[in-house]
Structure 1
Amino acid sequence: MRPGVTALSMTSLSLRLLRLGGPRAWTTAGLVGAGVAVASALLAVALGALHGLDSREARTGWRTPAAAAPGEPVIAQVRTRVDHAAGKPITQVDVVAPGPAAPGPATPGPAVPGATGPGPATPVPSGGTTAPPGLPRLPAPGELWVSPALAALLRELAPDALANRYPGPPTGLIGDAGLRFPDELVVVIGRPAGDPVLTAPGDSRVVPVASFARTTVPAEDEGYRQLTIVAVALVAFPIAGLLGASARLTATRRGERLATLRLLGASTRQITVVAVAETTVIATAAAITGFLLEALVSPLVARIPLAGGGWFAADVRPSVLVSVGAVVAVGLLATASAVGGLRRVVVSPLGVARRQQARGVRLVRLLGVVAALVVFAIGNSALRVVDVEAAGLVMAAVVLALFGAVVLVGPLVVRGVGGWLGRRESVPALLAGRRLQDDPRAAFRPLAGVTLAIFVAGFLAPLSATAWGATQRDDHTLHVRAGTPDQATTLLARAGIGADVRPAAGERSSGVDVRPVDPAELDRARTLLAPLAPGTLVQTDAEASGQNAVLLDDLRRGVLVVLVATFLVAATATGTAAAARVLDHRHTLRLLRLAGTPVRVLEQARMRETAAPLLVNGAIALAFGLLCASPFTAATGVLAPSGLIVLGSVLLAGTAAVLAATAASRPLLRSLTREDQERSL
């Protein structure tokens, strides 16, 4: 070829070869595109989860504002608590007008009335101050601002079940800018200075506020962020593996075509352009398709609840900048995969054309496994001392390191299993062993997705046992922090509510415990008993620890979401890689058929070259997964019923994915061998 051929013309040639390649080339390109599109869509979902948490914090951070510094002008005192009605949590934000009774900075709700902070802050008039997000102005004493969902609940329930707890009817609705999720129940109540809410006992803080723009992140929200980072890491590595595998699906076919161009005189730069153009264009177009697909299904993704509710659809869509960056990264990964496969073409194009290249794996990969174990040991020690803000990143690094160990050892296992099969007397076993030893890395690609899914199951199975095994607290007995049994009985009798009323028991030193005979009267009893302890919330034990219950529910749901995502990656990777492996080995299969090998024997060989290494790699992946979970729970948790369900479902789904992929590519195998046989006649 002429040395003056430009990169643009070589790019045009590459795309033209793809366009004129016929149905087989289009099928191969479709396999690459499908794998990259699915992986990109799942990557967009993972990035969207982190974006959603950031969006939530931006809208609701004002409920936990940073405390005003001593001497700084205070615009209000804020106390955020969680009430309940109809079995649903209601976020109650009390905004107290500044005045002489203002507490000092960040005083917790005192167990003893009258407790204050280090000193009073200087109050300022409430007029002209910046309003919290979602409100047109700072609420005045006696005003009541509610979310649309709470407004509907107020209309649905009887006044003595909910509305009577508040100073009056709603003044207005809170906008979306102040809500965590669309159906959130929120009430913002304006209180006068000196209101009992300032000194009422409880677990929440009374915070003097100088600006609603200065916020803090609650510990539970930061915990969700760290758990989400770990979940993203659990899904991100299989996604990256699927992206890389998809970009390498046509390595053999592309290598043959590039070797031919090299033998015809094309320069290294020219064949590099040809290889990069085809792979990068397909991968980039598929990545854009994947992100667009995630944007279309975002309303469905937004229905997956986390931290008490779903999402606004815009929350779970990554930002434009992040999306563009991710698409570019996918294109670069595809480019790197294409360039990486050029070395043997550039060095020995004749060997590629004759299929004489060796693709073995070296034992040096074991050094990577040792390095991963060192990272695990360091991360395990670091988890005991780092702050919660860094725990997720540390755990994500450990997960990625052990993921890498599983991927590094996989081809070595394939090579070892291939040697074992090669010593069998069975013809299918002999063929399978030979193919496994010829290219262990390519043989591992169809197994990588399922292997990583087993790793995820090994990590999640003991954790799910902890989440499902948590005990439930009493959800029917109300605790009132003040008053006597006689007072409570009198109030309930006037309303015709029967209840078992007793002095507070256990760790409670005062107040009464009330258990309505009819659980349906729980909200009415709660509302009637509130005046016995002004400024406090009347709750059950389960409601008081409601955040823990929500977290456990989210852990259970998160296990299912991560497993489903991993299954989807595994099924896609297995299916596309199995079909592409048939296409890449078309020449070998053709020669075997011409030599008289029955298709049935070829199919049995393919089954053996998949099942045997999968069993060994699966066992190794399971061990690494259990090791990864060991800092949080005992590995024996996998033997609990919920752990066995998680692990069993993954093993069954993984086996089904492998069998389905093998069966799905069987018609392709028969078609290729039949076509080649007909051409040879």
Structure 2
Amino acid sequence: MRSLFDLTWRLLRGGGRRGLLGSSLTLAAVAVSTALLLFAVAVNFAFAGRAERGAWRNPVPLTGTETGQARAVQAVRTGFVGDRALTVVHLAVLAPGLALPPGVPRLPAPGEVLLSPALAELAADDPSVAARVPGRRAGTIGDEALVHPGELVALAGHTPGEAIMTAQWKGDYRLGPSASKVADLTGAPSSDATAYQALAAVASVLMVVPLLVFGGAAARLTVARRDRRLSSLRLVGATPGQVVAMTVAEAVVTALAGALCGLLLYAAAIWPLTGVRIAGGGWFASDIWPGVLPVGAVLLAVPLLVGLSAVVGLRRVVVGPLGVARRQTPPGMRFVRVLVLIACLAATPLLGAGVSLTVVVAVLSAAFLAVNLAGPWVVGVIGRITAATARRPAALLAGRRLVDDPRSAWRTVSGVALTGFVAGFIGLLTPSASLSIENDPMTAWLLRDIRTGTLIVLVVSFLVAIVSAGITAASSILDRRQTYALLRLAGTDLAVLDRARLLETLVPLTVMGGGSIAAGVCCALPFARLTMSGTGALTLLVCVVAGFAGVIAAGAASRPLLRSVTADPAPRPD
């Protein structure tokens, strides 16, 4: 076994400058995937942490049979200071032994009040704010009891008979839960916190699935070079098990290095991410860091995914190494791939407001994966049509290449195509500013947060798409460097090769990008009834323009590499 890993390491080192470049592309792809995957995972932990820290001010009332266990009466009033929420928790202790929630140093006596640091500072500067939280200041509420940094929260002590404990609230917003007898201050996540957690889960699916597809595609970068090398080893006597072991070792070593780089990249991004305002404020750094176990799980899962993806593509090498060595076109894919996508889209009308979050997430994930499954088949069909209708050499070369290896062509455009699905889905769900109510600040707050979340998901998706397009374009040149060089040696103009490469990307992108947007719109229709607006159409337009521009720019960035590989037609001993 040791000699096998030694051989794998020698092959990695012996690939030369371009072999090292191919491994570097895989490492970069895995690093970006890992960093964004950590962000998608952290979003859920961040909102869960907020919900847990704010639960103490959302009392769980005792039932009629439990009133003998009451230790306090609690009432929560929510108002606004400008566009900032001000929460005052009124508490009257009935019996000793009331447990303190984290972040609350002690219970205030009647006439005392505990203030969050931001509220204490604001009340000192603004008498009108101080008048809304009367009482003698007796302490400070710690970060463990705050939903976000800078939150305005007060905990006021009262006697049970005070009028404020039972009076109807006539503030500038609304009454929270009416005064309740409680056994402790444990509380439960508010309905608003639960809604944000649900939205975060949907957003995670919209970000995670393209990332997983991109991470899996990273294992197939420079696949042609590796397959030819492994098929040669197979022909000279290497066993199937040895070929699989070498592939897994090479993929996992590269992916592990990329995952560690991605972890460092995400760690560097934590501080800027704390400034993103959602639900009225930014984030504690501990919110953005998902924890040791989730981080460890991601660092373990990414190399395993890359290794598994690399092994899945080895069937031709193991079973038919001669065909790989002779560069035979693999057999075509089956139409069942498209049928799976149609079935997933047909299930979306069953979704709606009454469907559980688990079902929504499952259907969205299935639709995402079905788009990725059907993509190579559609690319193959596009290639046959392009080749049959070609009137110029560049179009003929592009069409024949799409037919020869539709999976590789799909990997180049899959990022943007899947981003089109995201844009089609959330484009219709993006509320416009005209839907906000000026006398209902909480509604305006929520709609603003939805727009912010939409922008974040789109930025992450486009970052994945553009990085994916750039890396796979460069990898494709390395895979076909000898073919390009021989065509150049035979007299093919470099501009023709470059145009063929551009058509090979733009033709399937036009078809699959439009189809993915339509699929996303189809999945969004059951939810778009309340938020559909002109803002969604504008979002879709921006997505289409940005996607095409990003792919064209990525292709242009790899043009010097094309010029370099065509300058040396001699084969290299990989």
Settle same-fold status: TM greater than 0.5.
yes
Once the two structures are TM-superposed, the CA of residue 85 in structure 1 deviates from its matched residue by 2.6
Once the two structures are TM-superposed, the CA of residue 97 in structure 1 deviates from its matched residue by 2.6
2:40 aligned with 1:67: no
> CA distance change for structure 1 residues 224 and 319 in 2, over 3 Å: closer, same or farther?
same
Task: Please give the per-residue CA displacement for 1:63-90, whole angstroms capped at 9, x wherever unaligned.
Answer: 1132234234222111122123344221
Aligned to 2:565: 672
Task: Please give the per-residue CA displacement for 1:326-369, whole angstroms capped at 9, x wherever unaligned.
Answer: 12111111111111121111111122111124153221212211
Please state whether the residue corresponding to 1:556 is helix, strand or coil. Answer: helix
Alignment of 1:202-221 (within 5 A): 202=169, 203-205=175-177, 206-213=179-186, 215-221=187-193
The one-letter code of the counterpart of 2:163 is P
> CA distance change for structure 1 residues 406 and 636 in 2, over 3 Å: closer, same or farther?
farther
Once the two structures are TM-superposed, the CA of residue 163 in structure 1 deviates from its matched residue by 1.4
Please state whether the residue corresponding to 2:466 is helix, strand or coil. Answer: helix
Once the two structures are TM-superposed, the CA of residue 152 in structure 1 deviates from its matched residue by 1.0
Structure 2 unmatched runs, 5+: 170-174
Match of 2:220 among 245, 248, 273: 248
The one-letter code of the counterpart of 1:92 is V
Aligned to 1:130: 99
> 2: distance between equivalents of 1:62 and 1:635?
32
2:39 aligned with 1:49: no
Once the two structures are TM-superposed, the CA of residue 291 in structure 1 deviates from its matched residue by 2.3
Aligned to 2:473: 578
2:337 aligned with 1:343: no
2:540 aligned with 1:626: no
Alignment of 1:102-141 (within 5 A): 124=95, 126=96, 128-141=97-110
> 1: distance between equivalents of 2:548 and 2:73?
59
The one-letter code of the counterpart of 1:445 is R
> CA distance change for structure 1 residues 252 and 677 in 2, over 3 Å: closer, same or farther?
closer
> 1: distance between equivalents of 2:328 and 2:374?
25
Alignment of 1:319-330 (within 5 A): 319-330=291-302
> CA distance change for structure 1 residues 421 and 87 in 2, over 3 Å: closer, same or farther?
closer
Please state whether the residue corresponding to 2:527 is helix, strand or coil. Answer: coil
Aligned to 1:170: 137
> 2: distance between equivalents of 1:28 and 1:678?
16
> 1: distance between equivalents of 2:453 and 2:552?
27
Aligned to 1:314: 286
Aligned to 1:455: 421
Please state whether the residue corresponding to 2:74 is helix, strand or coil. Answer: strand
> 2: distance between equivalents of 1:283 and 1:319?
21
Q: TM-score, normalised by structure 2?
A: 0.94
> 2: distance between equivalents of 1:154 and 1:635?
39
Contact persistence 1:359–1:438 (CA under 8 A): no
Alignment of 1:172-321 (within 5 A): 172-202=139-169, 203-205=175-177, 206-213=179-186, 215-321=187-293
> 1: distance between equivalents of 2:270 and 2:481?
40
Match of 1:385 among 350, 354, 374: 354
Alignment of 1:475-554 (within 5 A): 542=439, 545-554=440-449
Aligned to 1:658: 551
2:400 aligned with 1:434: yes
2:557 aligned with 1:588: no
> 2: distance between equivalents of 1:587 and 1:377?
49
> 1: distance between equivalents of 2:336 and 2:87?
57
The one-letter code of the counterpart of 1:576 is I
> 2: distance between equivalents of 1:636 and 1:92?
32
Contact persistence 1:360–1:438 (CA under 8 A): no
Aligned to 1:497: none
Contact persistence 2:84–2:280 (CA under 8 A): no
The one-letter code of the counterpart of 1:291 is L
Alignment of 1:393-412 (within 5 A): 393-412=358-377
Once the two structures are TM-superposed, the CA of residue 267 in structure 1 deviates from its matched residue by 1.2
Aligned to 2:330: 358
Aligned to 2:379: 414
The one-letter code of the counterpart of 1:564 is V
The one-letter code of the counterpart of 2:328 is Q
Aligned length: 563
Please state whether the residue corresponding to 1:79 is helix, strand or coil. Answer: strand
Contact persistence 1:131–1:137 (CA under 8 A): yes
Structure 1 unmatched runs, 5+: 1-5, 99-123, 474-541
Once the two structures are TM-superposed, the CA of residue 183 in structure 1 deviates from its matched residue by 0.9
2:566 aligned with 1:600: no
> 1: distance between equivalents of 2:105 and 2:296?
35
From the CA coordinates, give the structure whose radius of gyration is larger: 1
> 2: distance between equivalents of 1:434 and 1:612?
13
> 1: distance between equivalents of 2:135 and 2:82?
20
Q: TM-score, normalised by structure 1?
A: 0.80
> 1: distance between equivalents of 2:433 and 2:421?
20
> 2: distance between equivalents of 1:270 and 1:234?
38
Aligned to 1:114: none
> 1: distance between equivalents of 2:490 and 2:68?
90
Aligned to 2:172: none
> 2: distance between equivalents of 1:345 and 1:43?
31
Contact persistence 1:626–1:635 (CA under 8 A): no
Please state whether the residue corresponding to 1:170 is helix, strand or coil. Answer: strand
The one-letter code of the counterpart of 2:183 is A
Once superposed, which parts of structure 1, at least 4 consecutive aligned residues long, lie more than 3 Å away? 383-386, 634-638
Once the two structures are TM-superposed, the CA of residue 275 in structure 1 deviates from its matched residue by 0.5
> 2: distance between equivalents of 1:47 and 1:72?
43
Contact persistence 2:436–2:447 (CA under 8 A): no
> CA distance change for structure 1 residues 87 and 419 in 2, over 3 Å: closer, same or farther?
closer
Please state whether the residue corresponding to 1:315 is helix, strand or coil. Answer: helix
Once the two structures are TM-superposed, the CA of residue 374 in structure 1 deviates from its matched residue by 4.1
2:13 aligned with 1:19: yes
Match of 2:4 among 5, 10, 15: 10
Once the two structures are TM-superposed, the CA of residue 376 in structure 1 deviates from its matched residue by 2.1
Match of 2:121 among 152, 165, 183: 152
